[in-house]
């Protein structure tokens, strides 16, 4: 096999070596339960609180709270199902949300709640005009992702919150910020959202830990009950290694955020330039951060088939969200009114500043494998 090029960083990222080393002691030496009363446990509790402050700082939060969860999926479920007492009201969700939000919305529908989906524009963002038209005094809750996990499209959350609150000052607004956190600077106070979800394994941290920002004064009910950890909002013995690793990864990424953006932007430019040099009539679906692109490289070549062909050559891409990889459709692209055949021929490529990338080599292999699939070789 040739050199491996991992280009599925929207699915997960490689954990930083220095983060592993920095948190390793919480797996062996400092193994104590943070809820115990003896000094080693009290010290670990302090470390968790320091980690919480670090991540809040990376979010640009002056006030508000942060609770640690077992995943971003859990955080999204916690927010959405804490709003279910508002019967008779309308719940609005972006049409291209991550499965951890969409599946919650479907469950609300099954329970008899009034759920509606906000259309996307041709670039994969929320259709602002249609969004505004949907807002009235009966809307209780809105959930719109900051950056699309499928296309990288960026929603102007600050503006959308203002537009929503202008028509309904009491509306609760949640944003899934998993694909936005550490891609560019975020000031969650300025966004004015009530809730904001982030995840560790998308930023060089471990899998199995997420976090939910809660605006000061925002009301939320616990989703998991037990020992009362996380101020009673998320019971369960804390994942100390995960939490400390999350904070270390966030701190590292935050220091390099502009550098990383510039590197990824360079990778994307080089990749597209090589595609053009090699005669690819590619089509990019959506527009947004350079880290993630959904692209049709060759119409008629199934994206799923291409993914497996490239895997054998050491290039890892995807057809979309790993959380919906078993599905035979892409909800986001459908919401953008993209032709079905084009959707089936599309793949998602997502870069990282921490992963080696050689545009010439990758495109050479891409061209070779597509020609094989077309029977030209």
Q: Which tens digits make up the pLDDT trace of 46-101? A: 999 999 999 999 999 989 999 999 999 999 999 999 988 766 689 999 999 999 99
Q: Please name the residues in contact with 120: beta carbons below 8 A apart, sequence gap of 6 or more.
A: 94, 95, 96, 126, 127, 153, 332, 335, 336
- Which two tokens mark 225? 């009950």
pLDDT of residue 85: 78
Gyration radius of the chain's alpha carbons: 21
pLDDT of residue 234: 92
* Mean pLDDT of the residues in the chain: 94
Closest CA to 277 of 369, 363, 197: 363
The single residue listed with the structure tokens 């930083």 is: 16
Phi first, then psi, for residue 240 (nearest 5°) are: -60, -50
pLDDT of residue 325: 46
pLDDT of residue 324: 53
Per residue of the chain (377 residues), give pLDDT as tens.
568 999 999 999 999 999 999 999 999 999 999 999 999 899 999 999 999 999 999 999 989 999 999 999 999 999 999 988 766 689 999 999 999 999 999 999 999 999 999 999 999 999 999 999 999 999 999 999 999 999 999 999 999 999 999 999 999 999 999 999 999 999 999 999 999 999 999 999 999 999 999 999 999 999 899 999 888 899 899 999 999 999 999 999 999 999 999 999 999 999 999 999 999 999 999 989 999 999 999 888 999 999 999 999 999 999 866 555 445 578 999 999 999 999 999 999 999 999 999 999 999 999 999 998 887 65
Query: What domains appear along the chain, each with residue ranges and CATH number?
Result: 5-14+257-373 (3.90.1150.10), 17-255 (3.40.640.10)
Active site residues: 323
Instruction: Give the max Cα distance, the chain.
Output: 70
pLDDT of residue 245: 98
pLDDT of residue 323: 55
Report d(CA 102, CA 97) in Å as an integer. Answer: 6
pLDDT of residue 363: 96
């Amino acid at each position: 096999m040739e050199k491996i090029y991992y280009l599925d960083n929207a699915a997960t990222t490689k954990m930083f070596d220095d983060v592993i080393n920095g948190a390793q002691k919480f797996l062996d030496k400092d193994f104590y339960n943070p809820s115990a009363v003896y000094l080693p446990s009290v010290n670990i509790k302090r470390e968790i609180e320091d980690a919480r402050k670090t991540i809040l700082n990376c979010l640009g939060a002056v006030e508000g709270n942060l609770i640690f969860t077992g995943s971003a999926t859990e955080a999204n479920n916690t927010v959405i199902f804490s709003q279910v007492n508002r019967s008779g009201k309308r719940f609005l969700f972006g049409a291209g949300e991550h499965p951890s939000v969409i599946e919650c919305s479907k469950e609300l529908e099954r329970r008899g709640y009034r759920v509606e989906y906000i259309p996307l524009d041709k670039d994969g963002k929320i259709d602002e005009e249609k969004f505004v038209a949907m807002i009235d005094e009966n809307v209780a809750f809105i959930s719109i992702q900051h950056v699309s996990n499928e296309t990288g499209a960026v929603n102007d959350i600050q503006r959308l919150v203002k537009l929503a609150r202008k028509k309904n000052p009491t509306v609760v607004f949640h944003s899934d910020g998993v694909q936005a956190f550490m891609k560019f600077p975020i000031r969650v106070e300025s966004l004015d959202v009530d809730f904001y979800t982030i995840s560790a394994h998308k930023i060089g941290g471990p899998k199995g830990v997420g976090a939910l920002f809660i605006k000061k004064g925002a009301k939320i009910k616990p989703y998991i009950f037990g020992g009362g950890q996380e101020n009673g909002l998320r019971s369960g013995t804390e994942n100390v290694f995960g939490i400390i690793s999350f904070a270390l990864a966030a701190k590292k990424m935050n220091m390099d955020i502009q550098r990383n953006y510039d590197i990824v932007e360079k990778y994307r430019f080089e990749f597209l330039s090589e595609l053009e040099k090699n005669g690819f009539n590619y089509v990019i679906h959506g527009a947004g951060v350079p880290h993630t692109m959904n692209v049709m490289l060759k119409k008629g070549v199934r994206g799923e088939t291409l993914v497996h062909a490239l895997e054998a050559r050491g290039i890892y891409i995807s057809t979309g969200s790993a959380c919906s990889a078993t599905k035979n459709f892409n909800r986001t692209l459908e919401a953008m009114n993209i032709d079905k055949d084009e959707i089936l021929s599309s793949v998602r490529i997502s870069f990282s500043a921490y992963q080696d990338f050689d545009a010439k080599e990758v495109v050479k292999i891409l061209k070779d494998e597509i020609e094989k699939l077309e029977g030209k070789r």
